[in-house]
A and B are shown apart, each in its own frame.
Chain A
Amino acid sequence: MRVHKLMLAGAGALAIALTANPVSAQKKYDDGASDTEIRIGNTNPYSGPASAYGQIGKAIEAYFKMVNDKGGINGRKVNFITYDDGYAPPKTVEMVRKLVEQDQVLFIFQTLGTPSNTAIHKYMNGKKVPQLFVATGASVWGKPQEFPWTMGWQPDYQTEGVIYAKHILANVKDAKIAVLMQNDDYGRDYFNGFKKGLGKDADKIVQVATYEVADPTVDSQIIALKNSGANAFFNITTPKFAAQAIKKAHEIGWKPAHYLNNVSSSVGAVMKPAGFEAGQGILTASYIKDPTDSQWDKDADMVAWNAFMDKYYPGGDKKSTFPAYAYAVSSTMAEVLKRAGDNLTRENVMKQAASLKGVEIPLLLPGIKINTSATDFYPIQSVRLARFKGETFELFGDILSGESE
């Protein structure tokens, strides 16, 4: 009896001890997280043929500096470690191994490029380190069954390809289609979606030209595509080549219905270097508020973004969508970390990333929200079409959504 009472008292004391300080009892950390810090790893092309994207990495770095100045996330400072990979997969592999094995980051965020992310895809999943919100829209990032540690963010390329295909079929009479694509999985993913969207009309593609990232120009490809007699053009290129293609097509007087993939729909990084005159009428799909679109001038998100750019990234290009993209995707990441609370394990970060329901993120177009679940690893699946007019992309039409399998 006496023993019984003692045990009861002991159990009671234990229960009080547990409830008295619930926070410390719940704190759980993996590598890269502590009471004071969250370490995040990243690679970006600050040099090389895709260096226009380098602004994204710099803007993310600036964003987390802002977060830290405001007190961090749940009291923890974010240590964003980013390395240059020059858009070369072997360099990405090396840098990511450094991030995981030496810097011991909690997870990898926004590694940029389809070939680069493909190169580390199996490694990350083998190591069970999250590869979150990668900066590529290949449809392969949404496969939670096979790759539970990898998640995309932007609308996937296949869906976007389908949308352009349907628009061509509905709007271009007697379409004869030319395609220029980067010769890797990024180009192929867009192209496959595009062909799927054309369906039985896939034979309307009269010529496909490819280029390598290492190529100096795409001039000869554009000349060949013009000579095919095409009146519609799907331009699957990264910024440097997109600007070259637009410029060259204009120079040689080729005026097809021009569809530019979203990953190059930046006024500052593509349309301006190509020449505004050359870009008139180009169509693209968009899910982010374009900073050059005057309808957002008074928009609260855009005002906040402008203040952020002035204070934390004064060297950045305020006419480019890339820093705006970086701001939106970083906000998503910050939201996930906020929700993860004090349970900063890799498993919980992944779990939180996979349970975003109708979350609104700054700078996404009105009506576009983030949705994920344990089986849905495609956070954004809606876009609106936009047409280049004057010095900006003008949105038109409804929100278009696709479901990629």
Chain B
Amino acid sequence: MATTTTTPVATADTASSSSFVWRYRYWLLLIVVPLLLIAAGKAGLISNFQFLQLSLMIVYAIAVLGLILLTGFNGQISLGHGAFFAVGAYTAAILIDQAGWPFWATLPAAALMCFIVGYLFGLPALRLEGHYLALATFALAVAVPQILKYRHIEPLTHGVMGINVFKSDPPFGLPLSTDQWMFLVVVAIAALMFWVARNLLDSRTGRALIAIRDHSMAASTMGVNVSHYKAAMFGISALYTGVAGALHGIIFEFVAPDSFRFELSIAILVGAVVGGIASLWGAVIGGIFVQVIEKYADAATKAISSAVHLPLELEPWLIYGIALIILMYTMPMGIAGGVAALLRRMKRS
């Protein structure tokens, strides 16, 4: 995957202006598309609520990216990334609520916090391989909502009632709604985080991480400090997911233990697998999948059962399950992997 995202060499050589456009096409897209969306918002075509949903998609994409870095590129399985998401969200919410920090300052704090938590969790977990590690992370995901309700930290977390967070208005008197402004912020942060991830994977460190995934003994023979890399990767992965959690808390304006139930960890994992576990594009697709399918599968099931007048009551999530099964059978490498294979086949013929 790391190679598919690098700039094509052939076009980079020519010095024409079109090659400039081609070379920076992703960055240009990144500027043009959000601006078009904002313009559509100004024209009243996209409501503030839809901006919130767009932002949430991107936030989930960052969270899925965290897991993809860990599982897809380093071969460690986690069923508990919802826990890091929660830690990030609560770090941001508590700093805003109790200490009055501006929202942007809480992001590095949440990142640091989650890196430390992830690194420390990763250290002992290293003795656990494969399924055992998955179980340990699973336990973490189940425990976190309970810990958040713990009575003695209730002054900080407000227990089951959760914390109301207030996002700040756009600065410099920008003529944007709060949701539009936060959408731009989320896009910018996501771009930064994807860029860092790509460069990380394209570096010596990245090659070491992938080598550990493919054959850890061989990697260690080559002089790679396996345990060091694995723990650090766990920390970085938690950092990504934690930043996503912090952004979620800030744009959603509310955090509560119920937001971070065990289902969230599964949703992130499903997003990563469906999107494409070993692909950065997979994270983007996974984020969209988490937001769209998770939120609408239930409603779609209901709509279909009432439209078709089926004699039997369809269970909620039926569509979700069917979609998942079909996807896994037709595209075992996720949507990103499936599309890449399809493109290759088209090129060949």
Contacts and interface: CB of A to CB of B under 8 A. Distances in A.
Interface stretch (A115-123, A166-174, A281-289): A115-123
Interface in A120-140: 121-123, 126
Given A88-B258, A102-B47, A93 B252 contact: yes
Contacts of A213: 160
Given A93-B254, A122-B164, A183-B159, 5 more contacts: A90-B254, A121-B164, A184-B159, A184-B160, A184-B161
24 contacts: A89-B161, A89-B254, A89-B256, A90-B162, A90-B256, A90-B258, A91-B258, A93-B252, A94-B252, A98-B49, A101-B47, A102-B50, A115-B160, A115-B161, A115-B162, A115-B256, A118-B161, A119-B161, A119-B256, A121-B164, A185-B161, A212-B149, A213-B160, A214-B261
A97 interface: yes
Interface in B132-154: 145, 149
B253 interface: yes
Contacts of A212: 149, 160
Interface of A: 47, 88-91, 93-94, 97-98, 101-102, 115, 118-119, 121-123, 126, 183-185, 212-214
A90 B252 contact: yes
Nearest to B46: A102
Nearest to B258: A88
Nearest to B256: A89
Given A102-B49, A212-B149, A90 B161 contact: no
A399 to B, nearest CB: 33
B301 interface: no
A184 B161 CA distance: 6
A118 B256 CA distance: 11
Q: Which 8 interchain pairs have the tightest Cβ spacing?
A: A101-B49, A90-B259, A102-B49, A88-B258, A101-B48, A102-B47, A93-B254, A184-B160
B294 to A, nearest CB: 12
Interface residues of B, number: 23
Contacts of A183: 149, 159-160
B253 A89 contact: no
A88 B162 CA distance: 11
Contacts of B259: 90
A185 B258 CA distance: 15
Given A102-B49, A185-B161, A93 B253 contact: yes
A145 B3 CA distance: 62
B6 to A, nearest CB: 39
Contacts of B164: 119, 121-123
Contacts, number: 60
Contacts of A93: 252-254
A12 B160 CA distance: 64
A184 B254 CA distance: 16
Interface in B251-273: 252-256, 258-259, 261
A119 B254 contact: yes
A99 to B, nearest CB: 9
Nearest to B146: A212
Contacts of B254: 89-90, 93, 119
Interface string B47-63: 11110100000000000
Contacts of B145: 214
Nearest to A213: B160
Contacts of A47: 316
A121 B159 CA distance: 17
A94 B255 CA distance: 12
A97 B256 contact: no
A90 B255 CA distance: 7
A94 B162 CA distance: 14
A183 B48 CA distance: 34
B46 to A, nearest CB: 10
Contacts of A184: 159-161
Contact of A89 (B49, B149, B162, B179): B162
A349 B254 CA distance: 27
Contacts of B253: 93, 123
B144 to A, nearest CB: 13
B293 to A, nearest CB: 16
Contacts of A115: 160-162, 256
Nearest to A100: B49
B71 to A, nearest CB: 26
A224 to B, nearest CB: 17
Contacts of B166: 122, 126
B305 to A, nearest CB: 15
A147 to B, nearest CB: 13
Contacts of B255: 90
Nearest to B248: A90
A64 B88 CA distance: 43
Contacts of A94: 252
B162 A97 contact: no
Contact of A97 (B52, B159, B258): B52
A123 to B, nearest CB: 7
Contacts of B149: 183, 212
A214 B259 CA distance: 13
Nearest to A47: B316
Contacts of A118: 161
Contacts of A102: 47-50
B295 to A, nearest CB: 8
Contacts of B159: 183-184
Contacts of A122: 164, 166
A183 B164 CA distance: 19
Nearest to B179: A101
Residue among B47, B48, B261 facing the most chain A CB atoms (10 A cut-off) = B47
Contacts of B258: 88-91
A78 B47 CA distance: 23
A57 B293 CA distance: 25
A62 to B, nearest CB: 17
Interface in B161-211: 161-162, 164, 166, 179
Contacts of A98: 49
Contacts of B50: 102
A123 B48 CA distance: 14
A115 B50 CA distance: 25
Contacts of B48: 101-102
